[in-house]
Structure 1
């Protein structure tokens, strides 16, 4: 299975830190956020990794190279000067991701989910959901057993970690568009599965949250475990 790191966003909430560098290259615990994630993906068995680029993308490409230093091969999906949003970015990268299901992870989340390879089977997507953080108390989706829908009142937050079949993007334009409407359409068809991850999850979306992660790493409170085998 291949993996994709979503790294094209502008990082407006991170300003002024992102005025001179893309958010994935901001450091916590002595290393850029995207390097932490690359190491975890390689440890989980992903050897082919796609990274999408837009804002200051050349800096990411220069910093990471071909991925050999992290035990993987990196292919870059260049979106130009303006990011294509999550849906458009995933759709643009499909030629690099192939015909099989793939994992996609936001570059600006820190989570101790094991990131195991997982085949969603007949589902078009499998989402990792987490408890609602203070900045997003209403959550995103409802989880009943292993099924995700948009109708239930008790909601969880989408972690930014998802497994997708390329068929989810059938008929979509090669342009900017959000992912959520595609997921809701698939939910209405009963084709989105999910899980509730109850471990550590942090949305590193502001300078304060980046500082919090840095402090956690310094004191060992944000340890990400080694990957563990998983039966799909």
Structure 2
């Protein structure tokens, strides 16, 4: 007799939610610093930018992370290898297993955010965390309860929004009282917030209804994530929270210097 197949519960899904950390960009605005060092390896307070996220993921007990690379990507693989473990004097949430999606080696260039995620999707699961390796957010917690709530919802994405920094005064998306991210029209007077690049995503967001990139992105198409998110927002399938912890998009040498002062 064939046994019934049971879908995993939201709690079981949340316990195994991996992460994707974006680290493929060239960092043109950070030149000459990025001429010889990939942007995610630039140090903030003596620690590579990317490592701040790896520490937070390991502390939260996230089991594994996929890092995409392109510009000088071999340096990132050499720096972090196949696993990341916290030091003995830090809270031991577990060992983070690391794998890579080498866009530069495979296609000669970075695939942008959605293209890179689509390429790495076979290494991820039905739900996964997303973080950008050039963003400093040391207070952010990759909370398993948040992952469980997201897994139990019908949302395709949950975004963490931040108050608008000086370099993005108009913001990106609105936020409703019900916790929906809003794709506001250009002439809307409603408040907007900046997308922090921290998110929970569902693999379904990269299926044909929302995404034009074929599964696994075998030809190396470049595509932006924002267009997918806006389509899903218009369908009411993106939720959001306001994050007020420390957050910096380390996009210029001046911002990096300010963090290190």
TM more than 0.5: yes
Deviations 1:50-96, CA, capped at 9 Å, x for gaps: 10011111010001001244421101011122100001111111000
Residue 169 (structure 2) pairs with residue 137 (structure 1): yes
Give 3-state SS (helix, strand or coil) of 2:78's partner.
helix
2:249 aligned to which of 195, 203, 224 = 203
> How far apart are residue 113 of structure 1 and its match?
2.0
Distance 1:45 1:211 in 2: 31
Question: More displaced, 125-134 or 28-37?
Answer: 28-37
Mapped partners of 2:255, 2:162: distance in 1: 17
Equivalent in 77, 82, 85 of residue 112 of structure 2: 85
Q: In structure 2, which of residues 166, 176, 198 is the aligned counterpart of residue 161 of structure 1?
A: 198
* Runs of at least 5 residues in structure 2 that lack an aligned partner in the other structure: 1-16, 87-94
Deviation of the 1:115 alpha carbon: 2.2
Specify the alignment match of 2:207 in structure 1. Answer: 170
Across the aligned residues of Structure 1 and Structure 2, the Cα RMSD in angstroms comes to 1.2
Deviation of 1:164 after TM superposition, in Å, equals 0.4
1:37 counterpart = 2:30: no
* Separation (CA, whole Å) in 1 of partners of 2:180 and 2:76: 36
Name the counterpart of 2:96: 72
1:123 to 140, 145, 155: 155
Residue 193 of structure 2 aligns to a residue whose secondary structure is strand
Q: Is contact 2:54–2:84 with CA below 8 Å preserved after alignment?
A: no
Shift of residue 29, structure 1, vs aligned partner: 1.2
| SS of structure 1 residue aligned to 2:100 | strand
Name the residue aligned to 1:61: 77
Higher Cα radius of gyration: 2
Q: 1:189 aligns with which of 235, 239, 242?
A: 235
**2:127 equivalent among 72, 76, 101:** 101
Q: Paired residue for 1:149?
A: 182
SS in 2 for 1:193: strand
Return 176-185 or 34-43, whichever deviates more.
34-43
Give runs of ≥4 in structure 1 deviating > 4 Å.
none
Instruction: Tell me the number of residue pairs that the alignment of Structure 1 and Structure 2 aligns.
Output: 214
Contact 2:69 2:100 in 1 (8 A): yes
C-alpha distance in 1 between matches for 2:29 and 2:84: 32
CA positional deviation for 1:149:
1.0
Query: Is the CA contact 2:58–2:84 (under 8 Å) kept in the aligned structure 1?
Result: no
Give structure 1 stretches of 5+ with no counterpart. 216-232
Q: Distance in 1 between matches of 2:99 and 2:57?
A: 14
